[in-house]
Every structure is written in C-alpha cells, then in structure tokens.
C-alpha cells in the first residue's frame, strides 16, 4: 500500500512549485519498492527539470536527435537504488547506482532504460550518449549546481549535431540552465518537505 506521503511526493499538487507528476510507470515502481517519500520528491524534481530540458531542445535545437522518453524515464528513476541504500539519501555513496540498475532490470525494465541508474554520475565515460548527459545535467541543475565539465560535454554534442559554433551552443545552454536554476529554491523546499522515512 502506498503511503499518503509517498503518493503526495510522486504526484500530489504542489503549492510551492508546479512540478509535473512522475509517470505512471515510475509511480508503480516506486510504490512497489516502498520508496522513501524524500527520494520520490527528488526524482519528481529531477524529472520535471529533465522535461524542461527536453522541451527546450525540441523547440530550440530541432536538429538534435535524442530519445526524449528515455531521458524522462532516466531522470525519473536515476536514484531508484536509494530505495535499498537509504543512507545515501542523506550521505555520500555510490552503491545505489548499480543497485538501481539491477532493481530496474529485475522488474522488466529494458537495459536501455535501466542504464541511467548506473550512468547518471559517470558522464565522463566515452560510452555515454546525449541522453545520459541530459539525465546527469538534470540531476545537477535541479538544485542549480553548475558542473562545467558536464556542460562542456553537452555543448560539444549540441554543436556537433547542429553545426553551430561551440560558443553559440554554450550561450544557448547557459541561458536555459540559468532559467531552470532560478527555480531551485522551490524544488529544494519541495524535496525537504518530505521525510526520508515514512
């Protein structure tokens, strides 16, 4: 049975910020796993930011080809391993990454979608695609954390896809990240309003 707090974190009305609800498939997964409400709130905030990023890409960078649904699912599930490694919700640790991928695979999620649980903190590897970079970026910018190395990788992918100069892509990305980052306080307050246990 899903607790009222968990349900509110995943898809309830939010007074402080108009966050999109998590997708139904993710709501079912988190309910089944007994997700901590704070984790669900975090995943909802990152999913909302990913939605803003993909909407911007689709509108302003139509030449960029990427899997929109994969990015949104990845953002909504990237920390699912913290249902097992709950201490990593309030402390450091990376055990949740492989655990999350294993949890998703065990529940029938395709490897292409389950990978984000393992790759969201490993954007520097050469094997990561644009989708992985976008999930990683959403996981940083939701709280207005700017990571130049990650942003440079995204800019390079955008410039390669559009044929525009790197500096042009940098300015465009910086503008949208600044705009998204402006909502960080509301997202942080939303996440903090939910307990780790409950």
pLDDT at 79 over 80: yes
Q: What is the pLDDT of residues 98-122, one digit of tens each?
A: 888 999 999 999 999 999 998 877 7
CB 38 within 8 A of CB 82: no
* Mean pLDDT of the 121-149 span: 90
* Mean pLDDT of the 133-149 span: 96
pLDDT at 37 over 50: yes
pLDDT at 48 over 50: yes
pLDDT at 56 over 80: yes
pTM score over 0.85: yes
Q: What is the pLDDT of residues 4-15, one digit of tens each?
A: 888 888 888 766
* Mean pLDDT of the 52-75 span: 94
């Amino acid at each position: 049975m899903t607790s009222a707090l968990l349900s509110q974190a995943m898809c309830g009305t939010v007074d402080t910020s108009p966050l999109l609800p998590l997708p139904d498939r993710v709501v079912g997964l988190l309910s089944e796993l007994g997700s901590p409400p704070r984790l669900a709130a975090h995943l909802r905030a990152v999913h909302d930011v990913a939605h803003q990023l993909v909407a911007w890409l689709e509108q302003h960078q139509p030449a960029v080809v990427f899997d929109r649904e994969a990015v949104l699912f990845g953002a909504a599930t990237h920390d699912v391993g913290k249902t097992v490694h709950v201490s990593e919700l309030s402390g450091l640790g990376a055990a949740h990454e492989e655990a999350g991928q294993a949890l998703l695979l065990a529940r029938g999620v395709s490897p292409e979608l389950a990978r984000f649980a393992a790759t969201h903190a490993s954007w520097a590897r050469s094997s990561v695609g644009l989708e992985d970079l976008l999930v990683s970026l959403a996981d940083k910018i939701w709280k207005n954390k700017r990571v130049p190395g990650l942003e440079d990788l995204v800019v390079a992918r955008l410039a390669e896809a559009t044929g525009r100069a790197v500096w042009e892509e940098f300015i465009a990305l910086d503008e949208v990240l600044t705009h998204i980052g402006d909502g960080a306080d509301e997202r942080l307050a939303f996440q903090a309003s939910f307990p780790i246990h409950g």
